Amino acid sequence: MEKKDLFTKILAITGFVLVWLTILAPVFFAIMSLVRGGGFRFDYLMPAELFIGVLAGGFLLLWAALRARSHVKWISWALILAVLMLVGGQSLAVVTGLADGTSGEGWFPVVLGMIVLYDLLVVALGVGGWCLIRELYGKKKPTKS
């Protein structure tokens, strides 16, 4: 039985806002830097630094998707892969010495690629949240009598 009640909608909207805040924050600060004359400085690592918001928002979206029985695979896979990319990239940076600057210069493109994939997966999670919200607020289908 799918639940599209107010609680499910609140879960979905809160999760959506948390995920998209982490995506839009670096864009906002880059535009502010540009307006103030400091040049365009985009921090692609900020979604990783705000990981707690992505994790909390992702769990709220997953909870809402499970309640609504909609977009569960999309949201769960995006969340799982995003966590794996972030943890994997950070672990690889620590193991190779790239994190503390001692060595590992050859691993920089791999770690950077994993962080960029994490960013893209967070965007995919946010898009999944948007699709879930659209379905939750969609028109009800008429029932056949």
CB 115 within 8 A of CB 44: yes
| pLDDT, tens digit only, all 145 positions of the chain | 567 789 999 999 999 999 999 999 999 999 998 888 878 888 888 889 999 999 999 999 999 999 999 999 999 999 999 999 999 999 999 998 888 877 777 888 999 999 999 999 999 999 999 999 999 988 665 555 4
Number of domains, the chain: 1
Alpha-carbon distance of 54 to 128, in angstroms, equals: 13
Within-domain flag for 106: yes
The residue type found at 17 is: V
> Would residue 1 count as lying in a domain?
no
Task: Give the angle 73-122-52 at the CA atoms, nearest 5°.
Answer: 105
Q: Is residue 145 part of a domain?
A: no
Query: For residue 38, is it within any domain?
Result: yes
The reply to whether 34 falls in a domain is yes
- Is 53 within the bounds of a domain? yes
144 is a domain residue: no
Domain range for 80: 6-136
Question: Is the distance from CB of 15 to CB of 60 less than 8 angstroms?
Answer: yes
| Position 39 in a domain | yes
